[in-house]
Every structure is written in C-alpha cells, then in structure tokens.
Amino acid sequence: MTLIVIDPGLCARDGICVAECPQGLLAPGEDGLPVPVPDADSRCIRCGHCFAVCPKGALKLDGLSPDAAPAVSGRSGLSPEAGLDFLTSRRSIRNWKDRPVPRELLEKALDAARYAPSGINMQPAHWLVVEDSRVVRELAGMVADGLRHAGIMPDYVAAFDAGREVMLRGAPHLVVAHADASGWYDPATDCVLALSHFELAAHALGFGTCWAGLFRRAAETWPPLRERIGLPPGHKVCGALMAGYPKSRFFRLPPRKSLRLRYL
C-alpha cells in the first residue's frame, strides 16, 4: 500500500505537513505539492502528524482517509484554570467503594492511553485488566511472597502478614502495562506514560487509581506472579495501577515541595 496519497485538488500547498513531519519525509514538489522522499516508507514512524495536521484533509496515510479519523473538536470548553485544577486534584486512591468500575469505563480510559506519546511512536504497551477483586487479593498475596523471597520491603511484608493489605490496598481492579523488553528498545518509559494517561483519563471519568509499585517490583523477579498473570515470554511488567471508585473526597491540595527551578 502506498504510504502517503495526496489529493492535488484538495491540497493548499501550504507546506504544513512538510514542516510537521518529524522525520523530514515530505518535500515540496515542483508545483508545491508535497512529495514523499524515496525511502519514506521505511523511515516513517506512523506518527500520523502529516495526516492529522492537514487543515484540508488532503492526505491519506496507509490507506486511511481523513474522513475516517475522529476529529479533534477543540471545543471541550476547558479553561486554563479548569485544566490545571484537574491536573493538581488527582490523588492516589487507597480507600475504595465496594462497587466495580464498569468495563466500558475502563476501556474508555485505556482507549485514551493509546494517545500517549512513545519513543519513535513504538506504542509498546500491552494491557492486562484484573477485573475480579478476588484475583486482585490473590495477586496481593503473591506480591508479598515475591518481596519476602527477594528480602526487600520487610516492613510492608510484616504489615501484610499482620492483616493490612498494603500490597494492592484492597483495590477492586488492577491494570497492568507490560511490553516486549527482549530487544534493544526499553519500553518502560512509554508504558509509564501510557499508564499516566490512563490515570488522568480515570480521573476525568470519575474513578481513581494508585500506582502499584510493589506489584511491579515483585513481578520483576517472582516467577509464580509472572506466571499467574500470563506474562508473555520476553515481556516485562513496566507498571501497574490499582483502580476503583474512591471512598473519600479530597477538599484541598496537599502540601508539596516548593519548585526547584533553574534557567539556563
């Protein structure tokens, strides 16, 4: 399939796609119509910027027509203040309502996570949603076993053994991002960014999350846990989030370190 097809009747020859391509794969032709460079197909990272930025919808990418892509409305009405309030009001949730998050909402948040940035647009994240809270409890026990076996976080292990579920905080669900780590590319940052998108999408959709760092740590080294979650060969767990409806409401921002900032 041809990578890029430009409709000469629609193209305004404005050079926007030429300027936008991060790989420099488009050049203005003789009449100003953008032309892909000869090796564009192999060097294209499928970021879709040329396709998404064209105001005329003149460019097809990999056979995808602009009409078939969701439009960015730009009319969400979110003021700068509301946007910042949204970001700063996200909190880690550790007390949950006894009510599951509907699958449609979890999938809506995961769908938003597909739009997170990723190095050379690799989009490496694979997802596992542990929907059943009984399985989350079982995994919490395996996290404790893994940490005990590795000889780390003894305080947490002791608290867990004493009956405090500090491993996965009694969460109704667990969302795990894992990726192929067998090659040269380390997918960890991209997966964390995708999880971060998920976390903010959850906040927008009215449910809450908490990073499950102990789960990720145990999954690094504890074979029974890796086996139980069906981790494919070569994959690593890059991060996980507990999820559910928050029991508490937060009325003010918590204190934070002051901004340590330098300019150069």
When asked if residue 49 is in the footprint of ligand SF4 (CB under 6 A), the reply is yes
| Distant-in-sequence, close-in-space partners of 219: CB < 8 Å, separation ≥ 6 | 146, 176, 225, 226, 229, 231, 236, 237, 240
For residue 41, the minimal CB distance to ligand SF4 (Å) is 9
Beta strands in 142-223 (DSSP E): 173-180, 208-211
Among 195, 200, 178, residue whose Cα is nearest residue 187: 178
Q: DSSP characters for 57-69?
A: --EEETTB-GGGS
Q: How far apart are alpha carbons 18 and 256 in whole angstroms? A: 43
28 binds, among ligand FMN, ligand SF4, none (CB under 5 to 8 A by kind): none
Per CB under 6 A, contacts with ligand SF4 among 55-84 are 61
Q: Which stretch binds ligand SF4 (CB under 6 A): 22-30, 81-89, 190-198, 199-207?
A: 22-30
Which residues contact ligand FMN by CB under 6 A?
22, 45, 47, 117-121, 189-190, 193
Q: Would you count residue 45 as binding ligand SF4 (CB under 6 A)?
A: yes
Helix axes 188-205, 80-88, angle to 10 degrees: 110
Residue 112 is a binding residue for ligand SF4 (CB under 6 A): no
Which option in ligand FMN, ligand SF4, none does residue 253 bind, with CB closer than 5 to 8 A by kind?
Answer: none
CA 236 to CA 154: how far, in whole Å? 24
Residue 120: name its binding partner from ligand FMN, ligand SF4, none (Cβ under 5 to 8 Å by kind): ligand FMN
CA 113 – CA 166 distance, rounded (Å):
27
**Is 47 near ligand SF4 (CB under 6 A)?**
yes
Nearer to ligand SF4, 20 or 131 (CB): 20
Contact positions vs ligand SF4 (CB under 6 A): 20-23, 25, 40, 44-50, 61
